[in-house]
Amino acid sequence: MMSNKILLCAVLAAASAAHADVTVSTQTSGKAAFIDLGGEGVTQIKGTRQRSEQSFKGKTQSMIIDIDGRRFVSLDAKKKSATVTPLDSIADELQKVGIGTIDATLKKTSQTKQIAGYPCTVHDIHLALPFSPTGQAGQGMDLTMVLSGTVCLSTAAPGLADYQAFYKAAADSGFIFGDPRATKSPTGAAQAKAYAALTKKMAEGGIALESHVNISASGDNPMAGLMASAAKSDIITTVTKIETGALPAESFDIPADYKVKTQK
């Protein structure tokens, strides 16, 4: 694991770099809860706002995370509509799963790669999150969500300072990275919380140019088998391009002609 002294130097170096908006293009493959994943994605970061576009089976999902506004915004270009989910509205759902102490580790290896034109170092990742679907630990329903695999982190890729600053601020504010509707199910809520913690941990070490994450759940109770099947995922994400340069502020706003619905 990177020593505290080295990590501090990396953070200070990143903080001193010139600020710039960041655009990261990715390719994703694998399976999540029996669903085949495969498609291209684009994530844009401008200060405390992020816009992501993910294509899957010919459909594109657009999501804006607005840290200062404490909200998620899902955009539907075909219907010209926006669904706004206040961050506070999913806090109760995340709390209901009785999440315990998160144990996350990021271990640097000697393996290096060149991805999207930039060097990165492979790290082993592991995160364990105890939780209870009933919200009450010790009632015979306790489970553990486990995320493990590898990530190749780069401190040489452009936009590092803004990338790290956004993910730290988002995680500290309680945001997840994905569709907030997933938190309606106990497994989805636990998975979202675990992935948010893992994303923050990875961002502390650099920009993730490649990740291979396995997600599983286990427990010694009748519900464990069902939950394990619902949680099982194997996802590979590879960065294909990183760009820096000013992004239009309106890209992170709801278009004026869109109908807006607030999700409670």
Domains of the chain, residue spans: 4-262
- Tell me which residue of 169, 174, 164 sits closest to 196, measured CA to CA: 174
**9 beta partners:** none
Radius of gyration of the chain (CA): 18
- Tell me which residue of 53, 106, 100, 99 sits closest to 76, measured CA to CA: 53
- Tell me which residue of 61, 27, 239, 33 sits closest to 154, measured CA to CA: 239
Give mean pLDDT, residues 29-40. Answer: 72
Point out the least confidently predicted range of 124-133, 206-215, 245-254. 124-133
d(CA 206, CA 214): 20
Q: List pLDDT tens digits, range 124-176.
A: 999 888 877 665 555 556 788 888 999 999 999 999 999 999 999 998 888 88
Q: List pLDDT tens digits, range 83-132.
A: 999 998 887 777 666 566 778 899 999 999 999 999 999 999 998 888 77
| Tokens found for residue 259 | 């109908």
| Selected residue with higher pLDDT from 134 and 47 | 47
**259 beta partners:** 81
d(CA 187, CA 194): 10
> Please, are residues 2 and 199 in contact by the beta-carbon 8 Å criterion?
no
| Tokens found for residue 53 | 């576009």
| 3-class secondary structure, 141 | coil
pTM of this prediction exceeds 0.75: yes
The pLDDT of residue 61 is above 70: yes
Contacts of 9 (CB under 8 A, 6+ apart): none
Q: Return the amino acid letter for 150.
A: T
